[in-house]
């Protein structure tokens, strides 16, 4: 452990020295230095996301101000169409309201019990429930905590043994995978999505608001979800059968919630209004992010009775919010100054990508980008680094950058090979229902299949609807 810590600290010191050298250069080098520093801090010190993100924002402010103060101040209010940060903030509040009111749990249980208690149906219900709660929050961790206790109750109702049951492994792997995959469908379902959309907006003519992202991603998400379900039931065929006793236990879990409460109704109405605003963002003359944030704040009113500000303040994921803000600022300046283009050019020349045919070039880059999830512990950091690099590689090849940007953007949240790839992965893995070896074998196959689906189905579909 001490050797690992020593390597971490040595890498940090080296990074600071390199950053100091780059900070003395042009604005492009300064921003490259910030990217390098952010990557090391966010990867090595995940418990310090709040402090490190504030540092990143401050450094960007200093370097941007050295060029143009007005540009930086404008970017403070215009990052991702002036609404992205506010939408994410409102999403965090609504997610907590879902938890406090019990609405998220009710939705998931209702879906599961309505699909019967056959083991394969239970696994499928997990996938459907994950899709239903996906747009409720930009935090995949929050959604993992909504679905996890339900999964545990469902598995235990069948009386299977933890660590020895294929059915138990299938349910938990489905919950983990669906949490990743379903987050690809909605712009606000996970933080990497608006980051990717920002890079695409800065580097190409394509603008993906909530509705356009949904049109781009949702059909492919459904296909990926279906394939993940089929793959799980094939690799982890349930060893048990359904029974009336099991069905009664599952219904008992649902019935314990009682009738729909006033709190749940209020949260449902607020979320539906916010969702309509997000979907119609491009047609609205006002800032839908601020409007949805104002609506979510109404949940703290005593008349609503949903949440208390004192209890909520202690649970606010300030680190995640600061990380989102920092990555959005970083995405903007990296795209503006093309700070990672030298990295892309170096890779392009060193590997000899120019000799590849366009189809082989795109396929190879998307496949490598997917496998690089292995070295990241955050899909947010992954999107921040990978998106500008693949766009730069496409420009070097003379290809349409959207051909690379859309596949990588869609697959950015799908990190399913190792437990450490995302916090939700760790949450499901530590419950002990599946082993790391089972996850790796399943995750590698699903990752390869996902790349094939996005290239063979996604790209033609995006061409058909005019995105490419």
Inter-residue contact 283 to 275 (CB < 8 Å): no
Q: Which residues, including other chains, have CB under 8 Å from residue 4's CB and lie 6 or more apart?
A: none
Place of tokens 């390199």: 18
The whole-number pLDDT of residue 80 equals: 42
pLDDT in tens, 395-410: 888 888 999 999 999 9
**Residue 238 to residue 84: CA distance in whole angstroms:** 42
Mean pLDDT score, 189-218: 88
Q: Which range, 5-9, 22-26, 387-391, 440-444, is most confident?
A: 440-444
Quick one: DSSP state of residue 209? -
Is residue 313 helix, strand or coil? helix
The whole-model pTM stands at 0.75
pLDDT in tens, 95-109: 777 777 777 777 767
Mean pLDDT score, 400-425: 89
Whether 79 has a pLDDT exceeding 60, the answer reads no
Query: Could you tell me which residue, 350 or 214, shows the higher pLDDT?
Result: 214
**Residue 453 to residue 220: CA distance in whole angstroms:** 8
Question: Counting beta carbons within 10 angstroms of the beta carbon of residue 82, is it exposed (0 to 12), middle (13 to 18) or buried (19 or more)?
Answer: middle
Is residue 451 helix, strand or coil? helix
Percent of the chain with pLDDT over 90: 18
The whole-number pLDDT of residue 329 equals: 76
Query: Could you tell me which residue, 115 or 233, shows the higher pLDDT?
Result: 233
Query: Could you tell me which residue, 225 or 25, shows the higher pLDDT?
Result: 225
**Residue 239, both tokens:** 């060893």
Whether 224 has a pLDDT exceeding 80, the answer reads yes
pLDDT range class, residue 15, cuts 50, 70, 90: confident
* Per-position DSSP letters for 342-398, written without gaps between them: HHHHHHHHHHTGGGS-HHHHHHHHHHHHHHGGGG-S-HHHHHHHHHHHHHHHHHHHT
Whether 195 has a pLDDT exceeding 60, the answer reads yes
Query: Could you tell me which residue, 191 or 415, shows the higher pLDDT?
Result: 415
Q: If we measure between CA atoms, which residue out of 132, 139, 38, 55 comes closest to residue 89?
A: 139
Q: What is the mean pLDDT of the chain?
A: 81
Is residue 304 helix, strand or coil? coil
Lowest-pLDDT range of 38-52, 160-174, 325-339: 325-339
Nearest-10 Cα torsion for 233, 234, 238, 241: 80
Query: Could you tell me which residue, 222 or 38, shows the higher pLDDT?
Result: 222
The whole-number pLDDT of residue 174 equals: 94
The whole-number pLDDT of residue 81 equals: 44
The whole-number pLDDT of residue 73 equals: 54
Mean pLDDT score, 275-296: 74
**Residue 97, both tokens:** 């309201």
């Amino acid at each position: 452990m001490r050797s690992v810590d020593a390597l971490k600290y040595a890498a940090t010191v080296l990074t600071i020295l390199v950053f100091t050298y780059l900070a003395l250069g042009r604005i492009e080098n300064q921003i490259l230095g910030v990217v390098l520093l952010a990557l090391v801090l966010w990867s090595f010190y995940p418990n310090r996301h709040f402090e490190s993100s504030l540092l990143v924002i401050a450094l960007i402010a200093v370097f941007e101000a050295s060029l143009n103060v007005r540009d930086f101040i404008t970017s403070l209010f215009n990052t991702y169409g002036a609404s992205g940060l506010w939408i994410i903030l409102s999403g965090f509040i609504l997610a907590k309201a879902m938890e406090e009111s019990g609405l998220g749990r009710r939705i998931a249980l209702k879906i599961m019990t309505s699909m019967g208690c056959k083991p394969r149906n239970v696994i499928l219900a997990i996938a459907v429930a994950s899709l239903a709660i996906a747009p409720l929050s930009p935090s995949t961790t929050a959604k993992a905590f909504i679905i996890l206790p339900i999964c545990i109750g469902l598995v235990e109702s069948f009386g299977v043994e933890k660590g020895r049951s294929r059915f138990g492994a299938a349910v938990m792997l489905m919950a983990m995978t669906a949490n990743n995959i379903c987050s690809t469908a909605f712009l606000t379902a996970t933080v990497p999505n608006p980051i990717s959309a920002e890079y695409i907006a800065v580097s190409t003519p394509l603008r993906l608001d909530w509705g356009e992202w949904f049109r781009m991603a949702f059909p492919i998400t459904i296909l990926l979800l279906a394939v993940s379900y089929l793959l799980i039931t094939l690799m982890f065929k349930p060893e048990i059968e359904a029974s009336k006793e099991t069905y009664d236990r599952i219904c008992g879990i649902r019935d314990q919630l009682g009738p729909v409460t006033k709190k749940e109704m209020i949260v449902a109405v607020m979320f539906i209004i916010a969702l309509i605003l997000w979907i119609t963002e491009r047609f609205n003359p006002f800032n839908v992010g601020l409007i949805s944030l104002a609506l979510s704040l109404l949940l703290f009113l005593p008349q609503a009775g949903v949440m208390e500000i004192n209890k909520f303040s202690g649970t606010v994921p300030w680190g995640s919010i600061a990380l989102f803000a920092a990555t959005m600022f970083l995405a903007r300046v990296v795209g503006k100054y093309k700070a990672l283009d030298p990295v892309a050019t170096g890779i392009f020349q060193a590997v000899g990508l120019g000799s590849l045919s366009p189809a082989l070039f795109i396929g190879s880059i998307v496949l490598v980008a997917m496998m690089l999830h292995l070295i990241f512990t955050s899909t947010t950091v992954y999107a921040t680094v990978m998106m500008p690099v693949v766009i730069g590689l496409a420009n070097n090849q003379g290809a349409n950058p959207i051909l690379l940007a859309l596949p990588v953007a869609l697959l950015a949240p799908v990190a399913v090979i190792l437990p450490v790839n995302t916090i939700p992965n760790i949450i499901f893995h530590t419950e002990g229902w599946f082993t790391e070896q089972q996850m790796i074998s399943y995750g590698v196959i699903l990752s390869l299949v996902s790349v094939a689906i996005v290239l063979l189905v996604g790209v033609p579909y995006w061409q058909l609807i005019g995105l490419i």
